């Protein structure tokens, strides 16, 4: 754990943002948390990892067109994260922070595709809004890849838990990822 | 279970018009809820409101990340 902290502390702005998140009233901590190590002990490594990833990721889309509604994008992602984490029962055995992470990152492929295809992708977005067609269908038709696949690929590169990446990959599919536990009863 | 939860949350976001593309689609009346979810569609929407829009947690996070 100390090694992880030492690595994180190489980026002081990252540390500052993570600490501002963990000390916000989001978590209801009564005592101020003054260091990453303290945050990991009190909140757990998974939760701090999520905050670090979110903090790191939210300002890294620096090649997006000016018209890209980044705030709406993150607002929607966080909404999905809170809802999905909130509906999973406490006794399920599922790591709630993994669910939250999946919700936060599941659509980030949209921003990546917009950076990769700055001329084409805004038209795909506009068409999805105008014609009320699911975005992933238009992506497949126009550029042959869906944002879910891109997001999952990036998650794998970040070594995010495999289960999270797999769920993100098929979040528009009709069947759960192979090997996942699906409780139906 | 994570897959079910993410897909449900995704559909709820579209239902409320929170979708990134501003698409809006009502939840289908015959939306099948997973067996582990104890409740109805109405409860799902209540939970969604509680955990997202009305809680203002999302806005707080966005403000902190500026």
Domains of chain A: 1-57 (no CATH), 64-185 (1.10.3210.10)
pLDDT grade for B14, boundaries at 50, 70 and 90: confident
Cβ neighbours of A71 (radius 10 Å): 12
Q: Which residue of B has its CA nearest to A130?
A: B23
State whether residue A19 is helix, strand or coil: helix
DSSP code for A68:
S
Report helix angle A12-22 to B57-65, nearest 10: 160
Given a contact cutoff of 8 angstroms between Cβ atoms, the answer to whether A176 and B3 are in contact is yes
B41 touches chain A (CB under 8 A): no
Answering whether pTM is above 0.90, one says: no
Q: Which of A108, A96, A18, A3 is nearest to A55 (CA)?
A: A18
Q: Please answer whether residues A76 and B12 qualify as being in contact, where contact means their C-beta atoms are separated by less than 8 angstroms.
A: no
Strand (E) or helix (H) holding A125: helix A121-131
- pLDDT tops 90 at residue A110: yes
User: Can you give the pLDDT at residue A184?
Assistant: 42
| pLDDT at residue A61 greater than cutoff 70 | yes
ipTM over 0.90: no
A80 chain-B contacts, CB cut-off 8 A: 6, 9-10, 13, 52
- Chain A with chain B: Cβ pairs closer than 8 A: 146
pLDDT-wise least confident of A113-117, B20-24, B60-64? B60-64
Most confident of A55-64, A97-106, A136-145, B51-60: A136-145
pLDDT value at position B60? 67
pLDDT reading at B54 higher than 60: no
């Amino acid at each position: 754990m100390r090694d992880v902290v030492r690595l994180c502390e190489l980026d002081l702005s990252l540390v500052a943002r993570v600490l501002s998140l963990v000390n916000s009233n989001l978590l209801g901590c009564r005592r101020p948390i003054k260091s990453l190590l303290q945050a990991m002990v009190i909140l757990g490594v998974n939760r701090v990892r999520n905050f670090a990833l979110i903090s790191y990721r939210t300002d890294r889309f620096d090649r997006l067109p000016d018209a890209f509604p980044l705030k709406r994008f993150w607002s929607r992602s966080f909404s999905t994260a809170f809802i999905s984490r909130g509906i999973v029962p406490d006794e399920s055995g599922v790591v709630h922070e993994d669910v939250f992470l999946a919700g936060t990152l599941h659509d980030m492929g949209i921003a990546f595709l917009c950076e990769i295809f700055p001329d084409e992708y805004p038209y795909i977005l506009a068409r999805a809004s105008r014609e009320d067609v699911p975005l992933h269908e238009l992506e497949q038709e126009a550029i042959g890849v869906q944002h879910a696949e891109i997001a999952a690929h990036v998650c794998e590169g970040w070594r995010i838990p495999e289960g999270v990446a797999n769920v993100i990959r098929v979040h528009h599919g009709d069947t759960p990822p192979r090997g996942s536990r699906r409780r139906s009863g | 279970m994570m897959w079910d939860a993410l897909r449900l949350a995704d559909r709820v976001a579209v239902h409320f018009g929170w979708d990134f593309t501003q698409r809006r689609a009502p939840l289908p009346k015959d939306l099948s809820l997973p067996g582990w979810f104890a409740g109805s569609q109405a409860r799902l929407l209540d939970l969604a409101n509680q955990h997202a829009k009305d809680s203002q947690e999302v806005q707080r996070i966005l403000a902190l990340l500026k």
